[in-house]
Amino acid sequence: MLIRSKAPLRLGLAGGGTDVAPYSDLFGGAILNATISMYAFATIMPTDNGKIVFRSIDKNEEYSIKSSSKLLIDGKLDLLKGVYNRIVKDFTKKPLSFEISTFVDAPAGSGLGTSSTLMVAILGAFCEWLKLPLGEYDIAHLAYEIERIDLGMAGGKQDQYSATFGGVNFMEFMKNDKVIVNPLRVKDHHLAELANNLVLYYTETSRMSSAIIEKQQKNVREKNMKSIDAMHKLKEQAIMMKECLLKGNIDEIGKILDFGWKYKKQLAAGVSNKFIDDLYLTAMKNGATGGKISGAGGGGFIFFYCPGNTRYKVIEALNAFGGQAKRYEFTTTGLSTWKI
Protein backbone atom coordinates (compact mmCIF):
# COMPACT_ATOMS: atom_id res chain seq x y z
CA MET A 1 0.00 0.00 0.00
CA LEU A 2 1.13 3.54 -0.76
CA ILE A 3 -0.27 6.69 0.84
CA ARG A 4 0.18 9.86 -1.18
CA SER A 5 -0.44 13.56 -0.68
CA LYS A 6 0.19 16.85 -2.41
CA ALA A 7 -0.23 20.47 -1.33
CA PRO A 8 0.07 23.60 -3.50
CA LEU A 9 2.64 26.37 -3.17
CA ARG A 10 1.37 29.95 -3.06
CA LEU A 11 1.85 33.52 -4.18
CA GLY A 12 1.45 36.04 -1.38
CA LEU A 13 -0.27 38.88 -3.21
CA ALA A 14 -0.73 41.33 -0.34
CA GLY A 15 -0.24 41.78 3.39
CA GLY A 16 2.90 39.68 3.66
CA GLY A 17 4.57 39.92 7.07
CA THR A 18 1.46 40.86 9.04
CA ASP A 19 0.88 37.17 9.84
CA VAL A 20 4.13 37.04 11.84
CA ALA A 21 4.10 37.30 15.63
CA PRO A 22 4.39 39.50 17.61
CA TYR A 23 2.78 41.90 15.09
CA SER A 24 -0.25 39.67 14.49
CA ASP A 25 -0.73 39.20 18.24
CA LEU A 26 -0.58 42.93 18.97
CA PHE A 27 -2.39 44.43 15.99
CA GLY A 28 -3.95 41.59 14.00
CA GLY A 29 -2.80 40.68 10.52
CA ALA A 30 -4.39 40.31 7.09
CA ILE A 31 -3.05 38.42 4.07
CA LEU A 32 -4.33 37.80 0.57
CA ASN A 33 -2.74 34.84 -1.18
CA ALA A 34 -3.46 32.38 -3.97
CA THR A 35 -2.22 28.84 -4.57
CA ILE A 36 -0.52 27.92 -7.83
CA SER A 37 0.14 24.78 -9.88
CA MET A 38 3.43 23.96 -8.15
CA TYR A 39 3.32 21.41 -5.35
CA ALA A 40 4.94 19.61 -2.45
CA PHE A 41 4.45 15.83 -2.55
CA ALA A 42 4.76 13.07 0.05
CA THR A 43 4.45 9.28 -0.24
CA ILE A 44 4.39 6.87 2.71
CA MET A 45 4.99 3.13 2.36
CA PRO A 46 4.21 1.28 5.63
CA THR A 47 6.70 -1.45 6.59
CA ASP A 48 7.09 -3.99 9.37
CA ASN A 49 10.89 -4.11 9.67
CA GLY A 50 11.19 -1.78 12.66
CA LYS A 51 12.89 0.94 10.62
CA ILE A 52 12.13 4.45 9.45
CA VAL A 53 13.49 5.74 6.15
CA PHE A 54 13.22 9.43 5.26
CA ARG A 55 13.94 10.30 1.64
CA SER A 56 14.01 13.83 0.17
CA ILE A 57 14.17 13.25 -3.58
CA ASP A 58 14.66 16.85 -4.69
CA LYS A 59 17.45 17.41 -2.16
CA ASN A 60 18.99 13.99 -2.83
CA GLU A 61 19.05 13.22 0.91
CA GLU A 62 18.20 9.99 2.70
CA TYR A 63 18.13 9.17 6.40
CA SER A 64 17.50 5.73 7.92
CA ILE A 65 17.07 4.97 11.60
CA LYS A 66 15.65 2.34 13.93
CA SER A 67 12.04 3.11 14.80
CA SER A 68 11.51 4.80 18.16
CA SER A 69 8.98 7.02 19.88
CA LYS A 70 11.03 10.20 19.46
CA LEU A 71 13.64 11.11 16.87
CA LEU A 72 16.49 13.54 17.46
CA ILE A 73 16.12 16.91 15.77
CA ASP A 74 19.64 17.42 14.44
CA GLY A 75 19.39 19.28 11.15
CA LYS A 76 18.88 16.17 9.00
CA LEU A 77 15.42 16.25 7.38
CA ASP A 78 13.96 17.85 10.50
CA LEU A 79 10.57 18.64 8.94
CA LEU A 80 9.95 14.92 8.51
CA LYS A 81 11.17 14.11 12.01
CA GLY A 82 9.12 16.92 13.52
CA VAL A 83 5.89 15.60 12.03
CA TYR A 84 6.70 12.02 13.09
CA ASN A 85 7.48 13.04 16.68
CA ARG A 86 4.21 14.93 16.99
CA ILE A 87 2.16 12.14 15.39
CA VAL A 88 3.52 9.61 17.89
CA LYS A 89 3.16 11.98 20.85
CA ASP A 90 -0.40 13.13 20.11
CA PHE A 91 -1.96 10.16 18.33
CA THR A 92 -0.35 6.72 18.00
CA LYS A 93 1.50 6.68 21.36
CA LYS A 94 3.83 4.06 19.87
CA PRO A 95 6.61 3.93 17.23
CA LEU A 96 5.79 3.45 13.56
CA SER A 97 7.70 1.65 10.80
CA PHE A 98 7.61 3.11 7.28
CA GLU A 99 9.41 4.77 4.38
CA ILE A 100 8.48 8.29 3.33
CA SER A 101 9.60 10.14 0.21
CA THR A 102 9.08 13.83 -0.52
CA PHE A 103 9.52 16.15 -3.47
CA VAL A 104 8.92 19.89 -3.93
CA ASP A 105 8.49 21.64 -7.28
CA ALA A 106 10.47 24.71 -6.13
CA PRO A 107 13.81 25.00 -4.32
CA ALA A 108 13.97 25.71 -0.60
CA GLY A 109 14.35 29.41 0.10
CA SER A 110 12.51 30.39 -3.07
CA GLY A 111 9.77 32.40 -1.34
CA LEU A 112 6.77 30.28 -2.34
CA GLY A 113 6.22 28.78 1.12
CA THR A 114 8.06 25.54 0.34
CA SER A 115 8.88 24.38 3.86
CA SER A 116 5.41 25.02 5.28
CA THR A 117 3.73 23.48 2.23
CA LEU A 118 5.93 20.40 2.55
CA MET A 119 5.02 20.24 6.24
CA VAL A 120 1.31 20.21 5.29
CA ALA A 121 1.87 17.49 2.65
CA ILE A 122 3.76 15.28 5.12
CA LEU A 123 1.14 15.78 7.82
CA GLY A 124 -1.63 15.09 5.30
CA ALA A 125 -0.05 11.78 4.32
CA PHE A 126 0.07 10.67 7.96
CA CYS A 127 -3.55 11.75 8.45
CA GLU A 128 -4.59 9.65 5.44
CA TRP A 129 -2.57 6.62 6.58
CA LEU A 130 -3.68 6.67 10.21
CA LYS A 131 -7.21 8.02 9.60
CA LEU A 132 -6.62 10.92 11.98
CA PRO A 133 -9.78 12.98 12.67
CA LEU A 134 -8.35 16.35 11.65
CA GLY A 135 -10.15 18.99 9.60
CA GLU A 136 -8.54 21.72 7.49
CA TYR A 137 -8.10 24.20 10.32
CA ASP A 138 -6.71 21.43 12.56
CA ILE A 139 -4.11 20.35 9.99
CA ALA A 140 -3.01 23.91 9.23
CA HIS A 141 -2.71 24.81 12.92
CA LEU A 142 -0.83 21.61 13.76
CA ALA A 143 1.56 22.21 10.85
CA TYR A 144 2.16 25.71 12.20
CA GLU A 145 2.82 24.42 15.72
CA ILE A 146 5.28 21.76 14.56
CA GLU A 147 7.24 24.14 12.36
CA ARG A 148 7.24 27.25 14.52
CA ILE A 149 7.09 25.84 18.07
CA ASP A 150 8.42 22.27 18.02
CA LEU A 151 11.19 22.98 15.49
CA GLY A 152 11.69 26.65 16.37
CA MET A 153 11.68 27.83 12.73
CA ALA A 154 10.93 31.55 12.41
CA GLY A 155 8.04 32.51 10.16
CA GLY A 156 4.38 33.38 9.90
CA LYS A 157 1.10 31.53 9.69
CA GLN A 158 -0.18 32.08 6.15
CA ASP A 159 1.69 29.30 4.33
CA GLN A 160 0.25 26.41 6.33
CA TYR A 161 -3.30 27.66 5.78
CA SER A 162 -2.89 28.42 2.08
CA ALA A 163 -1.42 24.96 1.42
CA THR A 164 -4.23 23.25 3.35
CA PHE A 165 -7.20 25.23 2.01
CA GLY A 166 -6.01 26.16 -1.49
CA GLY A 167 -7.56 28.75 -3.80
CA VAL A 168 -7.67 32.53 -3.38
CA ASN A 169 -8.09 33.46 0.27
CA PHE A 170 -8.27 36.55 2.43
CA MET A 171 -6.89 35.48 5.79
CA GLU A 172 -7.23 37.24 9.13
CA PHE A 173 -4.76 36.60 11.96
CA MET A 174 -5.84 37.47 15.47
CA LYS A 175 -4.72 37.10 19.05
CA ASN A 176 -4.42 33.65 20.66
CA ASP A 177 -3.38 32.06 17.33
CA LYS A 178 -6.90 32.48 15.91
CA VAL A 179 -7.03 32.41 12.13
CA ILE A 180 -10.04 32.95 9.84
CA VAL A 181 -9.76 31.87 6.21
CA ASN A 182 -12.17 33.66 3.88
CA PRO A 183 -12.29 32.04 0.40
CA LEU A 184 -12.83 34.63 -2.33
CA ARG A 185 -15.20 33.95 -5.23
CA VAL A 186 -13.04 35.44 -7.97
CA LYS A 187 -14.44 34.86 -11.45
CA ASP A 188 -12.56 32.33 -13.58
CA HIS A 189 -11.79 34.75 -16.39
CA HIS A 190 -10.38 37.28 -13.92
CA LEU A 191 -8.09 34.61 -12.45
CA ALA A 192 -7.03 33.57 -15.95
CA GLU A 193 -6.17 37.17 -16.81
CA LEU A 194 -4.27 37.56 -13.54
CA ALA A 195 -2.21 34.42 -14.22
CA ASN A 196 -1.46 35.67 -17.73
CA ASN A 197 -0.38 39.10 -16.54
CA LEU A 198 1.57 38.14 -13.42
CA VAL A 199 5.07 37.16 -14.54
CA LEU A 200 6.67 34.82 -12.00
CA TYR A 201 10.45 35.07 -12.30
CA TYR A 202 12.99 32.90 -10.49
CA THR A 203 16.16 34.82 -9.71
CA GLU A 204 18.20 31.59 -9.40
CA THR A 205 19.04 32.66 -5.85
CA SER A 206 17.78 31.47 -2.48
CA ARG A 207 17.85 33.00 0.97
CA MET A 208 17.30 32.16 4.61
CA SER A 209 13.86 33.65 5.19
CA SER A 210 14.18 33.03 8.93
CA ALA A 211 17.01 35.58 9.23
CA ILE A 212 14.89 38.33 7.63
CA ILE A 213 11.80 37.37 9.64
CA GLU A 214 13.78 37.44 12.90
CA LYS A 215 14.85 41.03 12.10
CA GLN A 216 11.22 41.92 11.41
CA GLN A 217 10.15 40.39 14.74
CA LYS A 218 12.89 42.29 16.54
CA ASN A 219 11.70 45.56 15.02
CA VAL A 220 8.21 44.98 16.43
CA ARG A 221 9.49 43.97 19.87
CA GLU A 222 11.70 47.06 20.01
CA LYS A 223 8.82 49.28 18.82
CA ASN A 224 10.52 50.41 15.63
CA MET A 225 7.67 52.59 14.39
CA LYS A 226 8.92 52.77 10.80
CA SER A 227 8.67 48.99 10.53
CA ILE A 228 5.37 48.78 12.43
CA ASP A 229 3.77 51.54 10.34
CA ALA A 230 4.90 49.72 7.20
CA MET A 231 3.09 46.58 8.43
CA HIS A 232 -0.05 48.65 9.00
CA LYS A 233 0.16 49.76 5.36
CA LEU A 234 0.61 46.18 4.17
CA LYS A 235 -2.52 45.20 6.07
CA GLU A 236 -4.34 47.98 4.21
CA GLN A 237 -2.87 46.59 0.99
CA ALA A 238 -4.50 43.21 1.63
CA ILE A 239 -7.91 44.88 1.91
CA MET A 240 -7.26 46.87 -1.28
CA MET A 241 -6.27 43.69 -3.13
CA LYS A 242 -9.38 41.85 -1.94
CA GLU A 243 -11.69 44.60 -3.22
CA CYS A 244 -9.80 44.78 -6.52
CA LEU A 245 -10.08 41.03 -7.20
CA LEU A 246 -13.73 40.76 -6.21
CA LYS A 247 -14.69 43.68 -8.44
CA GLY A 248 -12.58 42.38 -11.33
CA ASN A 249 -10.42 45.50 -11.56
CA ILE A 250 -7.44 43.37 -12.54
CA ASP A 251 -5.31 46.12 -14.10
CA GLU A 252 -5.26 47.98 -10.77
CA ILE A 253 -3.27 45.12 -9.23
CA GLY A 254 0.06 46.47 -10.49
CA LYS A 255 -0.41 49.74 -8.60
CA ILE A 256 -1.43 47.87 -5.46
CA LEU A 257 1.64 45.64 -5.68
CA ASP A 258 3.88 48.69 -6.17
CA PHE A 259 2.26 50.36 -3.16
CA GLY A 260 3.00 47.29 -1.03
CA TRP A 261 6.57 46.86 -2.30
CA LYS A 262 7.52 50.35 -1.09
CA TYR A 263 6.42 49.41 2.43
CA LYS A 264 7.63 45.80 2.41
CA LYS A 265 11.20 47.04 2.00
CA GLN A 266 10.77 48.92 5.30
CA LEU A 267 9.95 45.80 7.35
CA ALA A 268 13.55 44.74 7.91
CA ALA A 269 17.04 44.92 6.48
CA GLY A 270 17.64 42.35 3.74
CA VAL A 271 14.17 42.35 2.16
CA SER A 272 15.68 43.90 -0.94
CA ASN A 273 19.19 44.47 -2.30
CA LYS A 274 20.82 46.08 -5.33
CA PHE A 275 20.21 43.03 -7.53
CA ILE A 276 16.49 42.93 -6.68
CA ASP A 277 16.16 46.72 -7.00
CA ASP A 278 17.74 46.56 -10.45
CA LEU A 279 15.37 43.74 -11.45
CA TYR A 280 12.39 45.74 -10.28
CA LEU A 281 13.46 48.90 -12.08
CA THR A 282 14.10 46.97 -15.31
CA ALA A 283 10.65 45.34 -15.20
CA MET A 284 8.97 48.70 -14.61
CA LYS A 285 10.86 50.34 -17.48
CA ASN A 286 9.68 47.60 -19.83
CA GLY A 287 5.96 47.73 -19.06
CA ALA A 288 5.30 46.26 -15.61
CA THR A 289 3.16 48.42 -13.34
CA GLY A 290 4.19 46.85 -10.04
CA GLY A 291 5.56 43.75 -8.37
CA LYS A 292 7.07 42.25 -5.24
CA ILE A 293 9.51 39.68 -4.02
CA SER A 294 7.75 36.50 -2.99
CA GLY A 295 8.00 35.53 0.66
CA ALA A 296 10.19 37.27 3.21
CA GLY A 297 12.53 38.74 0.59
CA GLY A 298 16.23 38.68 -0.19
CA GLY A 299 16.00 36.37 -3.21
CA GLY A 300 14.02 33.49 -4.68
CA PHE A 301 10.97 34.28 -6.82
CA ILE A 302 9.80 37.78 -7.72
CA PHE A 303 6.63 38.57 -9.66
CA PHE A 304 5.43 41.54 -11.71
CA TYR A 305 2.07 42.65 -13.03
CA CYS A 306 2.36 43.21 -16.79
CA PRO A 307 -0.83 44.58 -18.42
CA GLY A 308 -1.78 43.99 -22.03
CA ASN A 309 0.96 42.08 -23.87
CA THR A 310 3.86 43.62 -21.96
CA ARG A 311 4.73 40.28 -20.26
CA TYR A 312 6.88 39.26 -23.25
CA LYS A 313 8.97 42.43 -23.27
CA VAL A 314 9.37 42.24 -19.48
CA ILE A 315 10.50 38.61 -19.62
CA GLU A 316 12.99 39.38 -22.38
CA ALA A 317 14.47 42.22 -20.32
CA LEU A 318 14.63 40.12 -17.14
CA ASN A 319 16.41 37.26 -18.90
CA ALA A 320 19.54 39.41 -18.92
CA PHE A 321 19.75 38.87 -15.15
CA GLY A 322 20.30 35.13 -15.55
CA GLY A 323 17.04 33.86 -14.10
CA GLN A 324 13.96 32.41 -15.77
CA ALA A 325 10.24 33.04 -15.99
CA LYS A 326 8.02 30.21 -14.69
CA ARG A 327 4.63 29.37 -16.20
CA TYR A 328 1.87 28.45 -13.72
CA GLU A 329 -1.88 28.57 -13.20
CA PHE A 330 -3.88 29.42 -10.11
CA THR A 331 -5.47 26.43 -8.39
CA THR A 332 -8.74 26.05 -6.51
CA THR A 333 -7.90 23.06 -4.29
CA GLY A 334 -5.54 22.65 -1.36
CA LEU A 335 -4.20 19.54 0.35
CA SER A 336 -5.14 16.27 -1.40
CA THR A 337 -4.50 12.78 -0.01
CA TRP A 338 -5.21 9.26 -1.28
CA LYS A 339 -4.22 5.58 -1.00
CA ILE A 340 -3.26 3.11 -3.73
What is the CA 275 to chain-centroid distance, rounded?
23
Tell me whether residue 139 is exposed, middle or buried, using C-beta atoms within 10 angstroms of its C-beta: 0 to 12, 13 to 18, 19 or more.
buried
Decide if 156 contacts 163 (C-beta within 8 A): no
Per-residue pLDDT of 241-298, as tens digits, reads 999 999 999 999 999 999 999 998 888 777 888 888 999 999 999 999 999 988 766 6
Residue 110, CA distances (Å) to 91, 180, 319 in order: 33, 26, 18
Return mean pLDDT, the chain.
93
pLDDT at residue 81 above 60? yes
Give me the domains of the chain, ranges plus CATH numbers: 3-186 (3.30.230.10), 188-326 (3.30.70.890)
Interval 48-69: pLDDT, tens = 999 999 999 999 999 999 999 9
pLDDT at 21: 87
With a threshold of 0.85, does the pTM exceed it?
yes
**CA 136 and chain centroid, separation:** 16
Check whether the bond before 22 is cis (ω within 30° of 0): yes
Examine the residue annotation and report whether 74 is marked as an active-site residue of this protein: no
The mean per-residue pLDDT over the stretch 95-124 comes to 94
Catalytic residue among 159, 177, 251, 278: 159
Q: What is the pLDDT of residue 69?
A: 94
